Amino acid sequence: MMSKFKFPVAFASLEHINFRLFWSVQLISLIGIWMQITASGWLVYDLTNSKFYLGVINAFGGLPILFLSPFGGIIADHFNRKKLLVFTQIAFSSGAFLIGILISMKLISFWALVAVAVAGGIVNAIDSPSRMAFIVELIEKRSLGNAIALNSLGFNIARVIGPALAGYLVGAIGIEVCFYVIEISFILANLTSSIL
């Protein structure tokens, strides 16, 4: 469905109401992902005071994406992409909530963060290809190039806002609350995704 409002040519695909809603929701989700990456790194450094372990946590989060993304693409081709995206948002939200609870209970450890990072990397290997493939279902073929460009723009916006927001929240209200805010971002994205 097309919007009556005319967007500038660079944002023309946002005239499609479903794509505009999806793009907004995914922006919130991607900001949450970058917030979690930043806050997890901060927490690792607080727990270990080690630059080495900071690199280790990032490696554990990134390796599943590197090796499993091709399989994530196969999964995205064989299953309902909308349901996959709802599942990934629930999984991301659960990881943030678990970390927040572990911090609250004073049970947080480096290895718990590694487990959440690995699980998040596996989920991200499914989420990214599903997200890219889902765009095709929301937009006319003639607007696809613009939609892909806007999707990349959203990723880069989130890459700037997410770490900055995480740093601000950790400094202003503490790392524990930061993870609960991250969880809420995934819940909001999930609730909105489910109506597409």
The full set of domains in the chain, from first to last, is: 31-193 (1.20.1250.20)
Report, as an integer, the average pLDDT of 161-170: 94
> How many Å apart are CA 51 and CA 63, to the nearest integer?
18
The proportion of the chain whose per-residue pLDDT surpasses 70, expressed as a percent, equals 95
Write the single-letter amino acid at 2.
M
Rounded to whole angstroms, the maximal C-alpha distance in the chain is 54
Report, as an integer, the average pLDDT of 95-113: 94
> How many Å apart are CA 79 and CA 67, to the nearest integer?
20
Residue 88 tokens read as: 């990934």
* pLDDT higher than 70, residue 196: no
The model's pTM is 0.87
pLDDT at 5: 66
Report, as an integer, the average pLDDT of 165-180: 92
- Closest by CA to 75, choosing from 123, 121, 29, 115, is 123
Residues in the chain: 196
> How many Å apart are CA 114 and CA 93, to the nearest integer?
16
| 8 Å CB contact between 166 and 42 | yes
Residue 64 tokens read as: 């599943």
